[in-house]
Structure 1
Amino acid sequence: MVDDGSLIFAVNSWVSGRRCTVMGAFDPFGKPVAPTKPQQDLLAKYFPTTERPIVLDTKAKSDIGFRTNGANPNVGVYVGNKTIIFDVHARLGDDSKRYLEGGATVTTDFDGKVTGQAYTLTAKDGNASLGGGYERKGTQTIESVNATWDKWSLAGKRSRDGANKDRQLDLSFRASERVTIKASWRPDVKPPSTPPRMTSYSFDKPPVVPNYSQYMVTFEIRLP
């Protein structure tokens, strides 16, 4: 039992001649939750752990499961109200400036039917990186690609849902640590044939004006 009323636990066992460590936690109301990193470090002081402990984890508020922790690949299985989520993430290369990593997430219902899937792949070499992703949920698909080199970055995204599609391409230049200039192209954005009617005339909360521009240049300034 820890100071905030949560209950944390760890179990050591031997499976096929290898040590296996499982960590988990319960919140003050008795709900199983993922143990925080400080809680995992606290358990590791009292339990001899393996290089890849299995940790109670969540991917969303409505699911709970276990994932391996430590050396890659990391694998997780989560169970929700109506879904089962299988998640795997692997990384090739120990150098933080040069590596190749990828991940895959597949969601199924309790009958084994795939309801969603997502895949990512990223390669990094010094100041340059290249990555892409694919996600499908129901009839909607999202494809993305991004590349960076020094202060420049390029990001493209295309989403489709039946006959509807939405594409966007962004080119950014980081002029300084706080200033970024971004040019965007959105070829599928079109204004409606009938202008939207004003439904609110409040000065305290003025209505948001929709942006139907296909070309934009944005200056982003981060305040200290």
Structure 2
Amino acid sequence: MGLAPLTRPTGQTPQTDLNSYRLIPLSSCPILGSGAESGLPSGVVFSGRSFEAASDNALSCCGRYNLRNSLHQGVAAIGDDGHLIFAVNSWVSGQRCTVMGAFDPMGKPVAPTKPQQDLLGKYFQSPERPIVLDSKAKSDIGFKTNGLNPNVGVYVGNKTIIFDVKARSSDGKTEGSATITTDFNGKVQDQLYELSTKGNNSSLSGSYERKGTQTAESLKASWDKWSLEGKHSRDGTSRNRELNLSYRATDKITIKASWRPDVKPPSAPPRITDYSIFSATNPNPPPAPPNYSNYMITLEIKLP
């Protein structure tokens, strides 16, 4: 159910800054689940009403509850524009876990911004790696660990589940990530793996991606002013290979040599469907002709 924006005097515009958020008084009650009876785990439910939010009621806004040697705390706030942000902090066996999230005025879960996360984190001691409501696309929503290394995220869409992992070395020079998309039956649909490392004057990176029957691999190495990049993609029986060697003479001038052995011109020349001429009355230039060259040398000059 969506949360209706709070009423305001006529002519007053909604405020979206952090100062517009008002804390909601929260009450708490336990869930004493039993595996044999209800099958539900024990826990705590925090509840409150948005119209009770008031800036002079801050001391009673953070709910807390002790359950079986564990401490659970909750905080929620609503802004003048109807956006709701919340956080739950649990302390179990000396380990802290914090979950943060937000809802738009229509009740749709959305990812909280970094300033909103910082605002929620002021109300109780939280770990350096909170679990945050996040989204990778408009059609999915999930949670990710935020802060320290590694970062892990799980997202659920209309028909898919996305698993996302990112990690880096302690010195920050090597990074890797993996994204796997499955359907609700666990069948893998898409995969993406990336790995990169860098030194003082060199770098090396590679990636592998698979979407259905399409696959793509890339490898790039650079040293000083030189860089070498190889690409390979395949879709069924067709494939495309490309090799590029670049030399950066200056910050504004780059020379690149390319080899594309799988590029072939069509058996029949393409038909011309646009006979318009670029002019003041026709500002759209004609499309560039397709390039079917197997070997190319390109000079790139960046103008100031």
TM norm. shorter chain > 0.5: yes
Is 1:22 matched up with 2:35? no
How many residues of Structure 1 are paired with residues of Structure 2 in the alignment?
Answer: 221
Is 1:105 matched up with 2:179? yes
Q: Deviations over 1:145-179 (max 9, x none)?
A: 11111222211110011110011111222233333
Q: Structure 1 CA distance, aligned partners of 2:188 and 2:270? A: 39
| Larger Rg, first or second structure (1 or 2) | 2
Offset of 1:54 from its aligned partner? 0.8
Partner of residue 208 from structure 1, selected from 274, 282, 288:
288
Q: Structure 2 CA distance, aligned partners of 1:43 and 1:137? A: 38
Partner in structure 1 of residue 299 of structure 2: 219
Is 1:191 matched up with 2:265? yes
- 5 Å-filtered alignment, 1:42-191, equals 42-94=119-171, 96=172, 99-191=173-265
Assess, with a 3 A threshold, how the Cα gap between structure 1 residues 40 and 174 changes in structure 2: closer, same or farther: farther
Q: Provide the TM-score with structure 1 as the length reference.
A: 0.89
Q: Provide the TM-score with structure 2 as the length reference.
A: 0.67
Assess, with a 3 A threshold, how the Cα gap between structure 1 residues 122 and 9 changes in structure 2: closer, same or farther: same
Q: Deviations over 1:20-77 (max 9, x none)?
A: 1112223344332222223323333344321111111122221111110111111110
Q: Deviations over 1:67-122 (max 9, x none)?
A: 1011111111011111101111111122x4xx222111111100111111111122
Offset of 1:15 from its aligned partner? 4.3
* Greater Cα offset, 190-199 or 117-126: 117-126
Structure 1: 5+ residue stretches without partners: none
* Greater Cα offset, 176-185 or 133-142: 176-185
Q: Structure 2 CA distance, aligned partners of 1:175 and 1:28? A: 54
Give the 3-state SS of the residue equivalent to 2:119 in structure 1.
helix
Give the 3-state SS of the residue equivalent to 2:169 in structure 1.
strand
C-alpha RMSD of the superposition: 2.1
Q: Structure 2 CA distance, aligned partners of 1:188 and 1:114? A: 29
Structure 2: 5+ residue stretches without partners: 6-14, 18-80
The code of the aligned residue for 2:189 comes to T
Assess, with a 3 A threshold, how the Cα gap between structure 1 residues 201 and 122 changes in structure 2: closer, same or farther: same
Assess, with a 3 A threshold, how the Cα gap between structure 1 residues 73 and 178 changes in structure 2: closer, same or farther: same
Offset of 1:181 from its aligned partner? 2.5
Partner in structure 1 of residue 41 of structure 2: none
